[in-house]
Amino acid sequence: MNMMESLFAALLDGSAGEQSVPSADTDAVIHPEDNGYYLYGTLHSLQVSEAAPDLSYTIVFTSGSTATDCSFPDNIRWPKPSAAPPAIEANTQYEINIEKGRALWSSWAADGE
């Protein structure tokens, strides 16, 4: 079962890790848990703490009118060619999937854009 299949199965059966939906315009610190799904509204900042390399988790958030300041641990491997975390832009929604230390991400215009 791939990560997306695992995530959807966990969401359907309620076994997904922590889910958090803080109010808009806030800061978030994540201490990742395996199969964690972290859903946020608009964030000013996002900090992901170092986690074991065999964990899988998903982070979803919106960058508001000012780009969200993000910090990720050094042990996450990002896709080439940059091999670096995404450059976070204002008024954009992000989904970042970490699968055993490897990251994939997607972004799209925030609602109303």
Nearest to 112 by CA among 65, 79, 52: 65
Residue 106 has pLDDT above 50, yes or no: yes
84-102 residue pLDDT tens: 898 999 999 999 999 999 9
**pLDDT surpassing 80 at residue 12:** no
Q: What share of the chain in percent tops pLDDT 90?
A: 59
CA pair distance 20, 113, nearest whole angstrom: 25
Residues 106 and 94: beta-carbon distance below 8 Å: yes
Taking only the tens place, the pLDDT of each residue in 69-84 is: 999 999 899 988 788 8
| Among 66, 58, 71, 85, CA closest to 25 | 66
Q: What pTM, to 2 d.p., does this model score?
A: 0.77
Cα(62)–Cα(40) distance, rounded to whole angstroms?
7
Does residue 68 contact residue 61 with C-beta atoms inside 8 Å?
yes
Say what percent of the chain tops pLDDT 70: 76
55 within 8 A of 49, measured Cβ to Cβ: no
The pLDDT value recorded for residue 80 is 84
pLDDT at 20 exceeding the cut of 60:
no
**Six token digits for residue 5:** 């299949």
What is the rounded (10 degree) CA torsion for 24, 55, 92, 111?
-60
